[in-house]
């Protein structure tokens, strides 16, 4: 477009981006500090706070739990979400409208209410083990992302090629795996990543679903910050950011980065 935005607008946008980036830079700096308290710019460079993460058993355990929950939850959400997204698009006429809304509910209702409700009905109410309740909570938490992202890629999928495959003698189930799924591969990858990161970062649902020996990393970070003010948390944060960067790099390689903006 030939008309450039007004310089004042450009200035505001630059400040907004500065506002977005500076705190993250500060966290990285603080994580590298050699001091026992949080400071920026770092005084002396050291990686000892990164080592410290793994010396604290609570961090070790919660990192494992968080990864397990995020991986399993995302997997289950994909297993139940892909058929649902397919049904919503393929049988749009036959299925009622409220079904689509139902799958959005987990992001519509306040997460913290959802977590509390699971505590009340599952762990406290029915004696469901905490790990199982966490898994159920996270599966539902990420389900809307899975259904939405896959639906978006199915929306541009031409179902007549599926019919073409069936008319050529391919069985419907086989057709789904050989024709439909490969064409929404990008959507599945994006859904996986989005769901995984959402689960990994979740606080509000996990908040009520922790118990003796079981907690997630964000909850552990919260607890740690409230007791200690040392750079450990900064280094955990950097670790999580690295993970995010790695994931974004994978996305960039496979799909192009603007994909995530959709």
Among 130, 134, 147, 191, binds other proteins (CB under 8 A): 147
- Residues of this chain, 49-78, that bind other proteins according to CB under 8 A: none
Nearer residue to other proteins within complex by CB, 108 or 161: 108
147-150: long-range contacts, CB 8 A cutoff, minimum separation 24: 147/81, 147/84, 147/85, 147/88, 147/103, 147/104, 148/103, 148/104, 149/187, 149/190, 149/191, 149/194, 150/81, 150/82, 150/85, 150/86, 150/184, 150/187, 150/188, 150/191
Give the interface size with other proteins as a residue count (CB under 8 A).
Answer: 88
Site for other proteins in 201-220 (CB under 8 A): 201, 203-204, 207-208, 218
By CB under 8 A, what part of segment 149-208 binds other proteins? 197, 200-201, 203-204, 207-208
Which of the ranges 151-159, 163-171, 184-192, 236-244 carries the binding residues for other proteins, by CB under 8 A? 236-244
In the block, which residue shows the tokens 């959507």?
187
186 sits in the region (left: phi over 0; alpha: psi -120 to 50; else beta) called alpha
Q: How far apart are CA 74 and CA 193, in angstroms?
A: 9
Task: Closer to other proteins by CB, 156 or 258: give it.
Answer: 258
Residues numbered 94 to 123 that lie near other proteins (CB under 8 A) are 94-95, 99, 102-103, 105-106, 108-114, 116-122
Within 7-46, which residues bind other proteins (CB under 8 A)? 9-10, 12-13, 16-17, 19-21, 23-24, 26-27, 30, 37-40
């Amino acid at each position: 477009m030939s008309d450039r935005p007004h310089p004042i607008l450009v200035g505001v946008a630059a400040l907004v981006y500065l506002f977005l980036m500076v705190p993250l830079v500060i966290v990285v700096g603080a994580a590298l500090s050699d001091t026992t308290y949080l400071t920026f710019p770092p005084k002396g460079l050291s990686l000892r706070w990164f080592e410290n993460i793994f010396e604290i058993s609570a961090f070790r355990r919660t990192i494992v739990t968080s990864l397990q929950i995020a991986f399993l939850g995302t997997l289950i959400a994909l297993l139940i979400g892909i058929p649902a997204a397919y049904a919503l698009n393929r049988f749009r006429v036959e299925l009622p409208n409220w079904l689509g809304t139902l799958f959005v509910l987990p992001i519509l209702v306040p997460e913290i209410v959802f977590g509390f409700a699971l505590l009340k009905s599952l762990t406290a109410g029915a004696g469901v083990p905490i790990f199982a309740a966490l898994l159920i909570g996270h599966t539902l938490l990420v389900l809307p992302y899975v259904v939405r992202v896959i639906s978006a890629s199915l929306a541009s999928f031409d179902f007549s090629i599926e019919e073409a495959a069936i008319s050529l003698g391919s069985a419907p189930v086989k057709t789904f795996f050989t024709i439909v799924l490969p064409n929404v591969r990008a959507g599945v990858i994006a859904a996986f990543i989005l769901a995984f990161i959402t689960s990994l970062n979740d606080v509000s649902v996990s908040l009520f679903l922790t118990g003796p020996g079981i907690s997630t990393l964000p909850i552990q970070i919260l607890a740690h910050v409230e007791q200690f003010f040392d750079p450990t948390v900064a280094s955990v944060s950097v670790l999580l950011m690295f993970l995010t960067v790695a994931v974004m790099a994978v996305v960039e390689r496979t799909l192009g980065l603007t994909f995530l903006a959709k």
